[in-house]
Amino acid sequence: MHALLRLSGLIDALTERVGRAASWLILAATLTCAGNAFVRYAFHMSSNAWLEVQWYLFAAVFLLCSGYALKHNQHVRIDVISGRLSPRARAWIEIFGTLLFLLPMGLVILWLSWPVFTMSWISGEVSANANGLVLWPARLLVPAGFALLVLQGLAELIRRIAFLRGLIADPSQKAEGAERELVEAILKSRSPGP
């Protein structure tokens, strides 16, 4: 199990690096969007290529950061129900959800999206829009993003099993503590000072 926990740590490090790097694409997308709007309204010019760059950047952020969001426990959960459960019950739910939904869905999408990317790459597929961009980079984002999500799902699965075996602390505790600290800080800022 210790070797698996080390593997989980390596996956976490990869996810963290990719997520932090991809988060800069938000700035790039925002600047591209603002620049495109400025040029369109100020100079009455537009380019489909710049619109497609925006779409590529937003797709990259969404797909490449999905594993990062999972690592930081930021995926949607039904907290009203899971918040009332014990940490062990939540760990079991995470294990079953990962095994029954996350991993199969991620692997199927990875399997189905790879041929779409390879066909786009081989054919040199280009967007049907005037001045459109090549499509293979956008098509590559799908299998890359889901590969990262599947890897992070495995890391989370390893941690939940290690927690149930008593080898590590509750892996979801950290995120919940950070959320509580944020709520407390917001409440403090709203309360009148002495």
- The pLDDT tens digits of the residues spanning 108-167 come to 999 999 999 999 999 998 888 877 788 899 999 999 999 999 999 999 999 999 999 989
- Mean predicted confidence (pLDDT) in 43-65: 90
CA distance linking residue 9 with residue 19, whole number of Å: 15
Rg (CA), the chain: 21
CA distance linking residue 10 with residue 16, whole number of Å: 10
CA distance linking residue 174 with residue 180, whole number of Å: 10
Residue 75 gets the label, from left (phi > 0), alpha (psi -120 to 50) or beta, of beta
Phi, psi of 126 (to 5 degrees): -125, 150
> What pLDDT sits at residue 44?
87
> What pLDDT sits at residue 34?
92
Inter-residue contact 145 to 63 (CB < 8 Å): yes
- Mean predicted confidence (pLDDT) in 28-38: 92
CA distance linking residue 49 with residue 63, whole number of Å: 21
Note the pLDDT tens digit of each residue in 83-103: 788 999 999 999 999 999 999
CA distance linking residue 120 with residue 140, whole number of Å: 9
Phi, psi of 134 (to 5 degrees): -65, 150
